[in-house]
């Protein structure tokens, strides 16, 4: 057998060491050729009498991120071809057989009659952890980088290579369902407590520990294949079962609004599978997996949240031919909430940070913010005291601009006022070394306008973070009119260094994310002023797939900021540029009622100290008209809240603000949570077809006004039966692991 991805060595004790080390990749992945090679290896183990047991380990820095999901995309294309040639039933059968191959392979490992041990270090996720679950003994390294888990739900799938069925037999069903539905990465100690791994040891000992188990009295039979096996949580049709599955279904519907077929299928797989023998349970899992794999939700989520996101994270939008920027020291001017957050994530990534503010006290407050965040991580066991000391040692807080002189990148995060920013730019450039990059974290002011205050506009770029910086994955890199390739590349290299996902956006008012968010909040405001109950606005938004309603979101970003944007827009573009109903609502809330949002515990919601937020009862008094909720069309409200965002995304493509369709979809989901099950606004349009979307938008425009009028690009796509991903297909780069 040719050894390409797996290197083997048989020792004198009959232990076959298998080292997974795929050539030309930074991480092992379950690709089609790797699966085929592993299958041949299993045949060898079963056939060769000299092989008494197997230990699998990795030759990479991590074990494996899981399956190459581009392979699953290929199964989707196979389905489309088979359906066109042979019909729906035949195509479904082909997908079922193709998609269950990995599950069948793992079952052969499990029932091979020979013991398999596995040594895990770094991440072991998805299909790779399903491999581990099929092995008879699992040893995990106790280092900080080791994590195990089944994150498939995050890309519209569920563990379909036996993981769902095995976890449900290893844990009580409520614990199994929680693990499967969350898709979280689990630390070794916790995994040991859950019995997902059998042993935890220092990294340099894990292979020897696995071999020691094999040399002892290893058991090559799983508990569920032994007579008398009892489920950890008891039978499904029992009192504990009735206390688990009905509430689980209710929680699923509450949390997902039934928008995610993969999670619904996973619940069914666990419920049905626990009533069946192992092999039949695996068949049920495979049938549901094949069905989910054919769903539009899975196709959209895999493309956006795996393939596109990986490509962007690996530099798909980085200017070609520009050497990698050596960013070792970052300066941040403005140690307030945003600046302190940027300082924290930079220091967390191992960069030296200089935090500058108007005086020492203000600068120290920014460093104290970092101390609180890392101390919280220490308290949760996610970092050590040494980690905290090292991180804080990388942050220098000072009022002295001269401390920025050796920084490779300086980011300003001061008050949103062009004059204030111009003063900062002058002070920074007076000390900044040649070749360093200057970035603005502005969220509202055009970068090209700010760059006019710079003596070196080719080194001036926008790096727009989202709040809270330490939690939000998206960063908009804004390319001004004079931004050079070196500055753009440096910004992208920095974003990659701090492990966030960048999208490149051409300079415009509101950039990309804020334009879509403002449209979403506007629609929420208008629904409220029309007389739709506030609770209905919020709940229908969540039914549509948004993480929070538009009123709650507005509270988070602050109502007074919304009013400032309205005032600035009116001043710059004239009174017709703002909606008078929205202006009246915001002005009443901010100026008359003094309700600024979460920051002063009064906005669309009340935020009692130590209590749960609730909608402010006074909102009803602000509504001149009150509509009967029973008479309202929920579908239309849902469409209004999504269509307004999708239209704005389409306009940014037409205007050249977004030049890569991947960035619109990835940016929308990571930046403001646009219904992830759709794959993003452009994928949503493509999914229903531009022709159907244009008809939907025109219907809303006729009823609710020209803000819903489809733009020329959408009309052209509809007329030519084209799509965004068809016309603007991005250049593909090879993706790696889930």
d(CA 308, CA 474) in angstroms, rounded, equals: 13
Angle formed by the axes of helices 661-672 and 513-530, to 10°?
60
Let me know: does 646 contact 652? Beta carbons within 8 Å.
no
> Could you read off the pLDDT of 428-481 as tens digits, one per residue?
999 999 999 999 998 878 999 999 999 999 999 999 999 899 999 999 999 999
> Could you read off the pLDDT of 284-327 as tens digits, one per residue?
999 999 999 999 999 999 999 999 999 999 999 999 999 999 99
d(CA 572, CA 578) in angstroms, rounded, equals: 11
pLDDT surpassing 50 at residue 192: yes
Contact residues for 30 (Cβ-Cβ < 8 A; gap 6+): 64, 66, 67, 68, 71, 102, 127, 128, 131, 737
- Does 166 lie in the same domain as 111? yes
Query: Does residue 459 lie within any of the structural domains?
Result: yes
**pLDDT at residue 380, as a whole number:** 87
Quick check: helix, strand or coil at residue 261? helix
pLDDT surpassing 50 at residue 269: yes
Burial of 230 (0-12, 13-18, 19+ CB in 10 A): exposed
Q: Record the pTM.
A: 0.92
- Does 264 lie in the same domain as 129? yes
pLDDT surpassing 80 at residue 618: yes
With a pLDDT cut of 90, the percent of the chain lying above it is 90
Of 294, 310, 339, the one marking the end of a domain is: 294
Query: Does residue 116 lie within any of the structural domains?
Result: yes
Structure-token pair, residue 308: 């596109």
With a pLDDT cut of 70, the percent of the chain lying above it is 99
Let me know: does 729 contact 118? Beta carbons within 8 Å.
no
* Helices and strands (H, E) in the chain, number of each type: 33, 20
- The DSSP code for 399 is S
Query: Does residue 645 lie within any of the structural domains?
Result: no
Let me know: does 249 contact 150? Beta carbons within 8 Å.
no
**pLDDT at residue 734, as a whole number:** 43
Query: Does residue 407 lie within any of the structural domains?
Result: yes
**pLDDT at residue 564, as a whole number:** 87
How remote is the C-alpha of 3 from its chain's centroid? 35
d(CA 230, CA 694) in angstroms, rounded, equals: 56
Q: Which phi and psi (to 5°) does residue 579 adopt? A: -85, 120
Query: Does residue 1 lie within any of the structural domains?
Result: no
d(CA 323, CA 290) in angstroms, rounded, equals: 44
> Could you read off the pLDDT of 345-396 as tens digits, one per residue?
999 999 999 999 999 999 999 999 999 999 999 998 888 999 999 999 999 9
- Does 182 lie in the same domain as 139? yes
Render the burial of 551-564: b for 16+ CB within 10 Å, e for the rest. bbbbbebbbbbbbe
DSSP assignments along 606-642, one per residue: E--TTS--EE-TTHHHH-SS---GGGS-HHHHHHHHH
> Could you read off the pLDDT of 692-732 as tens digits, one per residue?
999 999 999 999 999 999 999 999 999 999 999 999 988 75
- Does 499 lie in the same domain as 472? yes
d(CA 358, CA 356) in angstroms, rounded, equals: 7
- Does 557 lie in the same domain as 465? no
| Mean pLDDT of all residues belonging to the chain | 95
Query: Does residue 672 lie within any of the structural domains?
Result: no
Based on the residue annotation, tell me whether 464 is a catalytic residue of this protein: yes
Distances (CA, A) of 409 to 324, 333, 445, 486: 13, 11, 20, 12
Quick check: helix, strand or coil at residue 226? coil
CATH number at residue 281: 3.90.226.10
Structure-token pair, residue 728: 């603007």
Cis peptide before 57 (omega within 30 of 0): no
- Does 170 lie in the same domain as 107? yes
Quick check: helix, strand or coil at residue 731? coil
Let me know: does 658 contact 646? Beta carbons within 8 Å.
no
Region 38-62: what's the mean pLDDT? Answer: 97
**Cα dihedral 395→399→404→407 (10° resolution):** 20
Q: How many CB atoms lie within 10 A of CB 138?
A: 26
Let me know: does 667 contact 500? Beta carbons within 8 Å.
no
CATH number at residue 378: 3.40.50.720
Distances (CA, A) of 222 to 116, 135, 401: 11, 9, 64
Name the catalytic one among 121, 464, 525, 639: 464
pLDDT grade for 136, boundaries at 50, 70 and 90:
very high
Structure-token pair, residue 266: 């996973």
- Does 544 lie in the same domain as 439? no
- Does 265 lie in the same domain as 149? yes
d(CA 719, CA 324) in angstroms, rounded, equals: 43
Number of domains the chain is built from: 3
CATH number at residue 610: 1.10.1040.50
d(CA 393, CA 389) in angstroms, rounded, equals: 6
> Could you read off the pLDDT of 153-180 as tens digits, one per residue?
999 999 999 999 999 999 999 999 999 9
- Does 606 lie in the same domain as 550? yes
How remote is the C-alpha of 216 from its chain's centroid? 43
pLDDT grade for 336, boundaries at 50, 70 and 90:
very high
Residues spanned by the domain of 47? 6-294
Distances (CA, A) of 305 to 26, 412, 642: 20, 30, 19
User: Is 569 or 149 the better-scoring residue by pLDDT?
Assistant: 149
Closest CA to 135 of 99, 170, 106: 106
Residue with tokens 């997908």: 95
Contact residues for 511 (Cβ-Cβ < 8 A; gap 6+): 443, 462, 464, 476, 478, 505, 657
**pLDDT at residue 732, as a whole number:** 58
Query: Does residue 94 lie within any of the structural domains?
Result: yes
pLDDT grade for 577, boundaries at 50, 70 and 90:
confident
- The DSSP code for 114 is S
pLDDT grade for 737, boundaries at 50, 70 and 90:
very low
Query: Does residue 255 lie within any of the structural domains?
Result: yes
d(CA 29, CA 38) in angstroms, rounded, equals: 12
Quick check: helix, strand or coil at residue 148? strand
pLDDT grade for 684, boundaries at 50, 70 and 90:
very high
Quick check: helix, strand or coil at residue 199? strand
- Does 192 lie in the same domain as 122? yes
- Does 158 lie in the same domain as 31? yes
Of 249, 270, 294, the one marking the end of a domain is: 294
pLDDT grade for 1, boundaries at 50, 70 and 90:
low
How remote is the C-alpha of 200 from its chain's centroid? 29
What does the chain come to in residues? 738
Of 463, 485, 512, the one marking the end of a domain is: 512
**pLDDT at residue 736, as a whole number:** 44
Quick check: helix, strand or coil at residue 474? strand
Q: Which helix (H) or strand (E) holds 367?
A: helix 360-379
Let me know: does 543 contact 584? Beta carbons within 8 Å.
no
- Does 457 lie in the same domain as 393? yes
């Amino acid at each position: 057998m040719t050894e390409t991805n797996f290197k083997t060595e048989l020792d004198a004790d009959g232990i076959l060491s298998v080292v997974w080390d795929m050539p030309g990749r930074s991480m092992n992945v379950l690709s089609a050729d790797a699966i085929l090679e592993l299958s041949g290896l299993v045949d060898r183990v079963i056939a060769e009498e000299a092989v008494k047991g197997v230990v699998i380990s990795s030759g990479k820095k991590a074990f494996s991120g899981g399956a190459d999901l581009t392979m699953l995309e290929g199964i989707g294309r196979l389905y489309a071809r088979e359906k066109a040639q042979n019909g729906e039933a035949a195509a479904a059968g082909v997908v079922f057989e193709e998609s269950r191959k990995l599950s069948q392979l793992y079952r052969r490992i499990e029932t091979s009659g020979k013991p398999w041990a596995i040594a895990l270090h770094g991440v072991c996720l998805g299909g790779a952890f399903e491999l581990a679950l099929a092995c008879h003994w699992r040893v995990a390294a106790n280092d900080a980088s080791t994590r195990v888990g089944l994150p498939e739900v995050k890309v519209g799938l569920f563990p379909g290579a036996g993981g769902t069925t095995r976890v449900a037999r290893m844990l009580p069903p409520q614990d199994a369902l929680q693990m499967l539905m969350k898709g979280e990465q689990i630390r070794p100690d916790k995994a040991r407590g859950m019995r997902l791994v059998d042993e935890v040891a220092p990294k340099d000992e894990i292979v020897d520990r696995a071999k020691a188990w094999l040399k002892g009295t290893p058991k090559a039979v799983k508990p569920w294949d032994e007579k008398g096996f009892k489920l950890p949580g008891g039978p499904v049709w029992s009192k504990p079962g009735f206390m688990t599955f009905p509430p689980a279904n209710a929680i699923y519907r509450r949390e997902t609004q039934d928008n995610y077929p993969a999670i619904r299928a996973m619940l069914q797989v666990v419920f049905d599978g626990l009533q069946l023998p192992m092999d039949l349970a695996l068949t049920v899992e495979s049938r549901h997996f094949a069905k989910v794999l054919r769903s539009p939700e899975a196709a959209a989520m895999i493309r956006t949240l795996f393939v596109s996101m990986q490509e962007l994270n690996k530099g798909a939008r980085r200017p070609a031919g520009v050497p990698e920027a050596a960013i070792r020291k970052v300066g941040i001017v403005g140690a307030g909430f945003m600046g302190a957050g940027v300082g924290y994530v930079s220091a967390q990534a191992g960069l030296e940070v200089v935090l500058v503010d108007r005086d020492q006290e203000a600068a120290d407050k920014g460093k104290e913010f970092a101390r609180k965040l890392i101390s919280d991580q220490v308290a949760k066991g996610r970092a050590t005291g040494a980690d905290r000391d090292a991180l804080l040692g990388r942050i220098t807080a000072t009022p002295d601009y001269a401390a920025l002189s050796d920084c490779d990148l300086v980011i300003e995060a001061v008050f949103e006022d062009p004059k204030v920013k111009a003063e900062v730019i002058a002070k920074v450039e007076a000390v900044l070394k040649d070749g360093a990059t200057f970035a603005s974290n502005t969220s509202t002011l055009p970068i090209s306008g700010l760059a006019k205050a710079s003596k070196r506009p080719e080194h001036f770029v926008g790096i727009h973070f989202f709040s809270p910086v330490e939690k939000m994955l998206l960063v908009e890199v804004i390319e001004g009119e004079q931004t050079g390739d070196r500055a753009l590349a440096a910004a992208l290299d920095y974003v990659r260094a701090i492990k966030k996902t960048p999208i490149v956006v051409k300079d415009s008012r509101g950039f990309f994310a804020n334009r879509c968010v403002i449209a979403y909040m506007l629609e929420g405001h208008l629904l409220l002023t029309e007389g739709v109950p506030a609770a209905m606005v919020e709940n229908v938004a969540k039914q549509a797939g948004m993480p929070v309603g538009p009123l709650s979101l507005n509270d988070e970003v602050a109502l007074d900021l919304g009013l400032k944007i309205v005032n600035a827009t009116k001043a710059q573009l004239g009174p017709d540029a703002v909606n008078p109903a929205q202006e009246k609502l915001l002005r009443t809330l901010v100026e008359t009622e003094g309700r600024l949002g979460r920051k002063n515990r009064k906005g669309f919601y009340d935020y009692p100290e130590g209590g749960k937020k609730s909608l402010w009862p006074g909102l009803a008094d602000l509504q001149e008209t009150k509509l009967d909720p029973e008479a309202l069309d929920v579908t239309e409200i849902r469409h209004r809240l999504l269509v307004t965002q999708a239209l704005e995304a389409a306009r940014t493509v037409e205007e050249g603000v977004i030049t890569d369709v991947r960035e619109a979809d990835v940016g929308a989901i990571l930046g403001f949570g646009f219904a992830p099950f759709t794959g993003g606004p452009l994928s949503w349009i493509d999914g229903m077809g531009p022709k159907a979307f244009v008809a939907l938008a025109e219907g809303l425009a006729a009823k609710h006004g020209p803000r819903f009028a489809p733009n020329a690009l959408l009309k052209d796509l509809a007329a030519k039966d084209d799509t965004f991903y068809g016309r603007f297909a991005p250049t593909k780069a090879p993706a790696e692991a889930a």
